[in-house]
Chain A
Amino acid sequence: MNDESELLRTPLHGWHVAHGGRMVDFAGWSMPVQYTSIVEEHQATRKAAGLFDISHMGRLIIDGPDAQRFLDSLLTRRIDDMTPGQVRYSLVCNESAGVLDDILVYQIQLPEGGLSGYGLVVNASNRTKIVSWLNQRRGDFDVGIDDKTADYAMISIQGPKAIEVLDAICDHELTSLRYYFGVMARVASFRSFVSRTGYTGEDGCEIICDAADAGIIWTRLIERAEPLGGGPVGLAARDTLRLEAGMPLYGHELSEQINPVQADLNFAINLRGREFVGREAIIEAQKNHQQSVRVGLQLEGKRPAREGAVILHGDEPVGAVTSGTFSPTFERPIAMGFVKQTAAAPGTPLAVDIRGQHHPAQVVPLPFYQRGK
């Protein structure tokens, strides 16, 4: 734990402190873990609109004539078929298919023609690693690699009323914005990039704006969200939301010791007609029936299983929990973990060792939560 004064601060740090945010060290940033109650913030997102300061996430710009070829050589999903404004979830792997990070790639084209290239949004904990990795792999590619994290802020608004709230202060009509696409738009009159993306399992948008404009945009959104039952949401509820949505979190379900096949992220792998770092190892991993795989677990009783808890099949240890919580939506403990493939089929009765006691659990399909369409 770093000294609070040494932590990085987002442009909204002062707001969080002034509004009861309990600030914690998250990947070297001073971030609000919660404002009131985790369950209330979680439900505000599921039922109305949750607002998240995600400015701590890394924002990189990759441009230059070879930007597309360069990224295609490093990412598990193809870039060359992306269209302007499109956003794609992808993984960055090392040669042995270990996941260096999971990222969003944005194909950016400003109407003014000022900037053309790709935006990468990377995990805060992996930002310096990914910047080094990109530089290390640059070789003869003619590309620019710029870490613009400090120049911009990033706000996420998620929930069934998210679009309504944001649309009211956005000059672009958002109801027609397609999922995983973004547009340059003015939000509260400030130039922003708005994409229909998120990390909660809800409909919503993520807004990238100039750091200096974040405070006004945030306040305007809060003012409109609160009367509808929405409000600010801290990192703790962000975690319960993404867990219910079955989304992996780097450092838990993803790491350099885990490959994308194990993590059940086949949708984020595109092997056909491409070469990229880690491709051969991914092909090997696809044939490996010994490696453990990611599953969802539903536990009996009320006690949540936490990271590291051993998962048992009968008396045999078959894996471990990587994330676990008490699900506010289902009002019971849920978890994700990695288990042997022989214990991974939905319905398999397992147990989790929580401080010496075996709690019955069952493998269930992911995601736990899927919003109504």
Chain B
Amino acid sequence: MKPEDLHYAKTHEWVSISEVGGAKVATVGISAFAVEALTDLVFIELPKVGAQVEAEQPFCEVESVKAVSDVYAPVTGEVIEVNTALPDSLEILSTDPYIKGWIAKIRITDESNLGNLLDFAAYEKQCAEEGH
């Protein structure tokens, strides 16, 4: 997936939405900008398959050497799959954040917040403003 084709939450998660058997499924990860800002990631606590998550609420944690950070669910729904390869090879988040670095797939149950997601251009603008 190319970063240009993804949508983004203000909290730096990326989202790719596809149709699977009539349901909308969001594949979710964290943006290259966020991974670079975090640096030195050492741990991820993946969400549980089956968990109900709510848009803009924490659903996963990543830890760097320095601190723990929440990852926010960009959509509301049920976690149907998690990337079990991540905990033992966190470097994927930096080397391939948008393909192999996906964190979870969420079956969307409420589409009302999808309009809050940013397109690539709007997200890039936000990152430029945040600098770091």
Contacts and interface: CB of A to CB of B under 8 A. Distances in A.
B64 interface: yes
Contacts of B67: 306
A236 interface: yes
Interface residues of A, number: 18
Contacts of B61: 355
Contacts of B40: 37-39, 326
Interface residues of B, number: 14
B42 A304 contact: yes
B39 to A, nearest CB: 5
A303 interface: yes
Nearest to B87: A302
In this complex, the member of A38, A301, A326, A355 whose beta carbon has the largest number of chain B beta carbons within 10 angstroms is A326
B88 to A, nearest CB: 9
A236 B38 CA distance: 12
Interface in B25-73: 39-40, 42-43, 45, 61, 63-68
B43 A328 contact: no
A326 B68 contact: no
A325 interface: yes
B132 interface: yes
Contacts of B45: 303, 355
A304 B61 CA distance: 12
Contacts of B132: 22
A38 B64 contact: yes
A58 to B, nearest CB: 25
A326 B39 contact: no
Contacts of B68: 306
Nearest to B64: A38
Contacts of A325: 65-66
B36 to A, nearest CB: 10
A302 B88 CA distance: 9
A302 B43 contact: yes
A326 B44 CA distance: 13
B32 to A, nearest CB: 15
A240 interface: yes
Nearest to B67: A306
Interface string A315-341: 000000000011010000000000000
Contacts of A306: 67-68
A302 B64 contact: no
Contacts of B65: 38-39, 236, 240, 304, 325-326, 328
Interface string A10-37: 0000000000001000000000011011
Interface in A270-321: 301-304, 306
Nearest to A234: B66
Nearest to A33: B66
A34 B40 CA distance: 11
Contacts of A36: 39
Contacts of A38: 39-40, 64-66
Contacts of B87: 302
Nearest to B61: A355
A37 B94 CA distance: 13
Interface of B: 39-40, 42-43, 45, 61, 63-68, 87, 132
Interface of A: 22, 33-34, 36-39, 236, 240, 301-304, 306, 325-326, 328, 355
Closest 5 pairs (CB-CB, A-B) = A326-B42, A303-B43, A38-B40, A38-B65, A302-B43
27 contacts: A22-B132, A33-B66, A34-B39, A34-B66, A36-B39, A37-B40, A38-B39, A38-B40, A38-B66, A39-B40, A39-B65, A236-B65, A236-B66, A302-B42, A302-B43, A303-B42, A303-B45, A303-B63, A304-B43, A304-B65, A325-B65, A326-B42, A326-B43, A326-B63, A326-B65, A328-B65, A355-B45
